[in-house]
Structure 1
Amino acid sequence: MNRKLFHYGAAASLVALILLTLAWELWLAPVRPGGSFLALKAVVLLAPLMGILKERLYTYQWSSMFILAFFTEGIMRSWGDSGLSQTLALWEVAISVVFFACVLGFARTFKRKPT
C-alpha cells in the first residue's frame, strides 16, 4: 500500500484521538461535573504528533507501543463505564486500533527487501 495513505491515516487518527479525549473529559462525559484532570491525557498525545506529521520513522515505531495505553484505557472504561462514557470509550478503542494499524503499515513500507 501507499506510504502516504498510512501517514494520513496515522495523523488523522491521532488528531481525532486528541479531540475525542478533550471533548470526553471536558464536556461530553467527564468523570466529575465541570471537567476532570483526565483531560490532561490529551497533552500526552501531543508527544508523538510532530514526529508523525513529519513522517519520522522512529516516532512511528515508538508510538506503536505508546498507543497501547490508550487502547487499554478504552477497553477498561468501556467495560466499567456506562452510557455515553462507554460509547466514547469504544470510540477510543476504535481510533487507537486505526492509529496502530496505520503506524505499523507506515513502518512496514521501510522494510528492506532481500538482495
Structure 2
Amino acid sequence: MPRQPRFYRVLTQLCYWPLLLFVVLWHTLLQDPDSVSLPLPLALLFWVLPLLFPLPGLVKGKAYTHAWFNFILMFYFLHALTTLYTHPSEFWLALVELLLTSGAFVGATGYARYQGRAQGLGLKKQRQD
C-alpha cells in the first residue's frame, strides 16, 4: 500500500461521497416497501445525519477528523453486515454499502496515520526510567 497521504485522502473521498448519496437513495427510492420500519424523515435523520458530522473536516483534510470518522463508519459497516444476513432481498444494496464503507475506512485510517505523522501528531511514547 502507498505511504502517501494523498492516495488515502482520495480513497476516502471516492468512497465517502458515493456512500452519502447511496444512503439517501437507499432509504428514499431503493428500499423494499415491505421492510420500511421508520417514517422517511426519521429514517433520513437517523441514516444521513451521522455522515454529515465529519463533512467539514473531511473537506479540509484534517487528519483528526479522518481518525474519528472511522467510529461513524462502523455503524454503517455493521448495518451492511446485518442486512446481508437478515434481508436477502436487499443483498446487493448491503454489499454496495459494505464496499463503500470498507473503502472509506481504509482511506480514512491511512490518511490519519500518514498525514498525522507528516504533521508531527501522534501518541507520545512514555519514558522508561
Q: Please, what TM-score do these two structures have when normalized by structure 2?
A: 0.77
User: Which consecutive residues of structure 2, in runs of 5 or more, have no partner in the other structure?
Assistant: 121-129
1:73 alignment partner AA: H
Aligned length: 110
Larger relative contact order (C-alpha < 8 A, sep ≥ 6)? 2
Equivalent position of 1:53 in the other structure: 59
Q: Secondary structure at the match of 2:88?
A: coil
> Which ranges of 4 or more aligned residues in structure 1 deviate by more than 4 Å?
none
In the TM superposition, what is the alpha-carbon distance from 1:12 to its structure 2 partner? 2.1
In the TM superposition, what is the alpha-carbon distance from 1:69 to its structure 2 partner? 0.8
CA RMSD of aligned residues (A): 1.8
**Cα distance in 1 between the residues matched to 2:26 and 2:54:** 21
% identical aligned pairs: 21
**Cα distance in 2 between the residues matched to 1:38 and 1:87:** 20
In the alignment, is residue 88 of structure 1 matched against residue 90 of structure 2?
no
In the TM superposition, what is the alpha-carbon distance from 1:51 to its structure 2 partner? 0.7
Contact 2:51 2:72 in 1 (8 A): no
User: Which consecutive residues of structure 1, in runs of 5 or more, have no partner in the other structure?
Assistant: none
**Cα distance in 2 between the residues matched to 1:44 and 1:64:** 12
Equivalent position of 1:11 in the other structure: 13
Q: Could you tell me which of 20, 23, 43 is aligned with 2:22?
A: 20
Structure (1 or 2) with the larger CA radius of gyration: 2
In the alignment, is residue 44 of structure 1 matched against residue 46 of structure 2?
no
In the TM superposition, what is the alpha-carbon distance from 1:43 to its structure 2 partner? 2.1
- 1:60-104 Cα deviation digits (max 9, x unpaired): 111112211110011001111122x22111111111110110011
Contact 1:75 1:89 in 2 (8 A): yes
